[in-house]
Amino acid sequence: MKETPILIYTGDRVIYIPTHAEGNVNHPDCEYGIVSSWNDKYVFVKYVRNGIPQMTAQATSPEDLYVDGRGGLVNVLEIFKSLENGRI
């Protein structure tokens, strides 16, 4: 059976986990946001502050972002690598 690829879409909810948090999603510096767009280098995320999505998206490195991949968090950089390698 062919594995269903995990993609990233506009409107996906993501978690920014900074490197110093060492993968801990409960670290106080983690931020939640919504994908607004992306290019070949960054994912643009409207972060949620005080329960409100911000109007201006912030350029974020895909290596620091995680999206819910149907059963667990998936690093956005891995999704980008799949796109580059033509696996999707």
Segments of the chain assigned E as strands: 13-16, 31-38, 43-49, 52-53, 58-60, 65-68, 73-75
Residue 70 has a pLDDT of 55
pLDDT digits (tens, 9 = 90+) for 7-24: 778 888 899 999 999 988
Q: What's residue 88's pLDDT?
A: 41
**What residue spans define the domains of the chain?**
13-82
Cut 0.85: pTM above it: no
For 17-64, list the strands marked E by DSSP.
Answer: 31-38, 43-49, 52-53, 58-60
pLDDT in tens, the chain (88 residues): 444 455 778 888 899 999 999 988 889 999 999 999 988 899 999 998 888 889 999 999 988 998 866 566 777 777 666 655 554 4
